[in-house]
Structure 1
Amino acid sequence: MRLSPRPKTALRSFAATVVAGLLALSGTTAATAQADSAPAATAATGPPELLIGQSTRAAWDDFNSFGQNADGGSVYYELRSGDWVNAAHRDFATLLADQGKTVQVGISWKDNPPGFTGGDEAAKAARSRAVTAEIAAGGHTAALDRLIAFTEAHPRARFKLRLDYEVSSYYHCTDASCSSYKNAFNRLASYLDSRSTAHNLEYVFHPVRGEFEAMYPGDAVDWMGVSVFAHELCLPIYDRGYLYNGTPPQNYDTGTTQCRNAYIGTDSNGNPAAVWRTFDHDANVLKLVKFAKDHGKPVILSEAGMMNFTADGGAPDGLEQQRGDLWVKRLFSLMNYRGPIPNLPGEYDLRGVIRSVSYIDLDFRYGWDGIDDGSFDFAPDTTWFVDGRLSRYGAAKASFCQGLAANGFTARCR
């Protein structure tokens, strides 16, 4: 649908309204805004690391069918049972830790809260918030004893501990201040540090992409985590018969498969003006990376994987191949982003902030373990029903291998 042109006076009024709104959102003015041109300085040093996830050795074996020297992997542990989610997670963690590699551990309570006896999602979220407050008060620490013993038994390994993952106000905050989660994060980090003699633990704050600032726990954070699937790279997802992209439609360009946002630029007279353009990356992801840089924290892409981009039954063929390649290229371009950020003035250099990537190299059609054993499968034509194994792709695998080499990863392809 083509819109009728607006009168020039209406356009000027509209532009002024947009700029005022963007300036209010950014918390600054064009007169005081400064462009950010310096490369990032973060706590992490050395080459970026590649972790292969998640959950089982199946992902590790797929990467090693064409690559080598990955730095580690990703698994899950839960407070409710005080144990690994299952034996496959424990065995994968053991495989990695025995080699002195990095193990990212998602320590969960929101997915299966201690003391939750049943009910709908709202009831589970309420119990998760209560558990968060209990942790802040010193509860549930005994549930970490098995994990502490494991880390102590592998002093050469490094453990990135996500103190719950994709945390949000809905599941973790008892009030607007979110002191419940902030205090819980700090309490757990302090307790784990007090029990660790190997001193091989680092703590990951992994929020949903829009709540990083409100929930930030402070200096106890070693890494900022973020999930990167489809919307985070402005790509569509196929689900139950239709494509969706996280809309509203005016913020998405279906022709170029990009997000569409405004940032604060200047007009020919040097006055602040809304500049509309397309982006390959979600605004909240760019803002999270900037926030991490501003606080001197490196970023880990704690969960990164392809989704069901097309209506092809989840198989890696046809347009799925093209979209997979585009996904990989945008993933690595996020690591090297320089440019404007929606709603903010100036331009920013975010190179070098992302220091770790956990790629989920699994066939999601068969659930989180990626194994066709009948234990759990995703329904066909749903978001996760996709074969995300890089070995099944041509251009995407080639781009992934090129991205590893171009960005100085130790992991490489044969």
Structure 2
Amino acid sequence: MTRATPAPAPSAPPAPLPPRVALMMLVALTSGFALSSAFRTVAAILAAPLQAELHLSPQALGVFAGTFHFAFGAMQLFMGIGIDLYGVRRTVLTAFPLCIAGALLSAAAPGYGTLVLGQALIGVGCAPAFLVCTVFIARHFAPQRFASLSGLSMALGTLGMLFTGTPLAWLVQQWSWRTGFVVLALMALAAWLWIWRGVHEPAPGPAHGMPRESVREAVARFAALFALPHTWGIVALGAVSYAALISLRGLWLGPMLIERHGFSLVDSGNVALALSVVALCGPMVFGRINPGAATRRGWIVVCTLLMALLFVAMALVHSAWVDVACMLATGLLSGYIVLQYADVRAAYPAQLTGRAMAVFTMAMFLGVAAMQWFTGLVASLAKGRGMDPFVAVMGCIAALLALGALAFRLLPRPPQDV
């Protein structure tokens, strides 16, 4: 009789990171997200010089701004799988150099086509930037700290938008929009080096002696998320909530203030800087007042509708101070997006955290790309008919926010919320 081969012993789980070490690693990862925030909002300041030099229509400008977000969103599936199979560190270090290459290509772009290609490379390189932060928090911190730490991470990431306010406007005015891309490439390189030096999470591996999941199995499990009824309400609202903020801050803020109210480029940069500072506080505020699972979804719906009303006011009230006040209020209110991340974290089992966050992030950034392209088209059509393009754009964003809130409210909820 042959002796049976003993089963392999279950692999021991990796030792947890000390809280202080984990927090420092999170800050390093957030530096990549800060650069991602800067790249996704450059169009608000670069719109006027790009239109002047390359003779871009509003629709072409929308395509330029949306290309980053389309590439960013389309890659979330692969980034989620990469994070689950290979870890946070390896995924972000592999992708982020494309961001640096895209920024340098944009700086040297001889024409519109090369500029758009550079934006696509930047979007792919930045694709894991915030996803790695949320997954790292979910893996290495207690669940009750998820909302507050996500809010802190979003706030620190918003620091990247500060550069694309007054500092970028000054650089462009003193030199050119190409200088802005060169400086951003150098900042992205510094962030990559910080992550390479500072982030060393426990390596992911098969748990309890089970074989490592294959890429094919990972893709199948990713697709299975869309078979869950409650995914669609989450995706519908995710596609418009962040898109509204970024379409305003990252595309229409500068043109609206310059063309409607006669602001200079630096003046509009100052407003963009102020909006970014306010937006930095929003996630921390909503992270602190996290209402909990029982009422969180109600808060999300109300905040979305309030944001829609702010865009209605910007569409209908032709006043510089009203427009600026509504822009700043939108920046603060946008912090409620951290509640959406907390809702996603609670709606799926722990083993699907990476992919669930990737689905939501994919919806957010494909939504940004679609909204920027669509509002560019709306602006071009309105301008061709002699209408104020900003009335059409702001009204369109308000309507999309209201539709997203309605879908989130009426479509099936996660089982634990029923």
Structure 1 or 2: more strand by fraction: 1
**TM-score, normalization: structure 2?**
0.24
Structure scoring higher RCO (CA < 8 A, sep ≥ 6) equals 2
**TM-score, normalization: structure 1?**
0.24
Structure 1 or 2: more helix by fraction: 2
